[in-house]
Amino acid sequence: MKLAITGPTSGIGAITFKELVPVCQEVFFLARNAEKAQIEIEKLPEKERKKVSFIHLDLADLDSVKKAAADIQAKTDQIDVLINNAGGIFPKYEVTKDGFELSFSANHLGHFLLTNLLAPLLLQSENPKVINVSSEAHRAAKVNFDDLNYKQQSYSSFNAYANVKLFNILFTKSLIDHYGSKGLRSYALHPGVVKTNFGKEANGIFKLFWKLATPFMIDANQGARTSIYLAKTQMPDSHNGYYFKKSKPNVPSKEARSKNYRDKLWEASMEMVKPWMG
């Protein structure tokens, strides 16, 4: 298996990476922090380390996303599994240098561009898969499609996070609409409520909720299980595009199942990333 994974420097991604390397032929470690990357890669036994290439990727910088895809393309002509795992909740309203709201760019738009740019490599595989790490938080989403970048409405970090986690599920289904007939499989998942670096920078009511929830959280080893299961398992065709929890299909919200929503998101996202697609 040739794997590309985002967010492997911490939490769920670090465990997913570590557990999958032994079953992989080649791994692309996509991260924005080279020092953290080196630490994780050096934890591997030497024979496993040789399989791993660090690729610089900042999902909140679309030039970096485009370069990361080109760097991978220069090293391989095929990817079997892409795990879009990186993400987080961002306490303050910030605009990226490309003019997009930070949470929207880091959690959705960066992965949207990366996946579309890597699609030709994925489609070289006999059994290509894209796995998107979403969340049960998607059920709290309230999306204003006319203001995806919070230019008019006031910014709430939790609302922005719930929305992007809904987008992860909509994107999963859209990938089937656009590439399914060419063989692509795509899955979304909720990892559980997991003790990681996630939420450490949150503020307001979410910070309090997260602190209170800490004693009940699972660890990253358990949190990575569904990602690892989906990467390793040959899934039936009937489960293509599904949302998973505890390695089992689960019914996401009504909005997550809306074709109208996913078409709107695809169209708006494609328009935004157009300058980086060529």
Ligand X SMILES: NC(=O)c1ccc[n+]([C@@H]2O[C@H](COP(=O)([O-])OP(=O)(O)OC[C@H]3O[C@@H](n4cnc5c(N)ncnc54)[C@H](OP(=O)(O)O)[C@@H]3O)[C@@H](O)[C@H]2O)c1
Catalogue the active-site residues.
161
For residue 65, the minimal CB distance to ligand X (Å) is: 9
DSSP character at residue 217: P
Q: What are phi and psi of 40, to 5 degrees?
A: -65, -40
Record the tokens describing residue 87, joined without a space: 């993400």
Q: What are phi and psi of 189, to 5 degrees?
A: -155, 155
Nearer residue to ligand X within complex by CB, 153 or 214:
214
CA 63 to chain centre: 18
Residues 59 and 110 sit within 8 Å (Cβ to Cβ): yes
For residue 220, the minimal CB distance to ligand X (Å) is: 6
For residue 183, the minimal CB distance to ligand X (Å) is: 26
- Does residue 67 belong to the site contacting ligand X (CB under 6 A)? no
Identify the residue among 32, 66, 108, 173 touching ligand X (CB under 6 A): 32
Report d(CA 32, CA 30) in Å as an integer.
7
Identify the residue among 3, 7, 68, 125 touching ligand X (CB under 6 A): 7
> How many residues sit in the footprint of ligand X (CB under 6 A)?
29
State the DSSP H helix or E strand holding residue 18, giving kind and residue range, or none if neither.
Answer: helix 11-20
> Restricting to residues 74-133, which ones interact with ligand X according to CB under 6 A?
85-88, 106, 133
Report d(CA 59, CA 69) in Å as an integer.
12
Residue nearest to ligand X (CB): 11
Identify the residue among 1, 19, 36, 76 touching ligand X (CB under 6 A): 36
For residue 105, give every residue at least 6 positions away whose Cβ sits within 8 Å of its Cβ, in sequence order, or none. 59, 60, 62, 96, 98
Nearer residue to ligand X within complex by CB, 89 or 125:
89
Nearer residue to ligand X within complex by CB, 183 or 204:
204
For residue 71, the minimal CB distance to ligand X (Å) is: 14
DSSP character at residue 109: I
- Does residue 186 belong to the site contacting ligand X (CB under 6 A)? no
Record the tokens describing residue 217, joined without a space: 């959280």
Strand, coil or helix: 44:
coil
- Does residue 157 belong to the site contacting ligand X (CB under 6 A)? no
Identify the residue among 3, 10, 252, 255 touching ligand X (CB under 6 A): 10
- Does residue 140 belong to the site contacting ligand X (CB under 6 A)? no
- Does residue 11 belong to the site contacting ligand X (CB under 6 A)? yes
Report d(CA 185, CA 48) in Å as an integer.
27
Amino acid symbol at 190: H
Q: Would you tell me which residues interact with ligand X (CB under 6 A)?
A: 6-7, 9-13, 31-33, 36, 57-60, 85-88, 106, 133, 135, 190-191, 193-194, 196-198
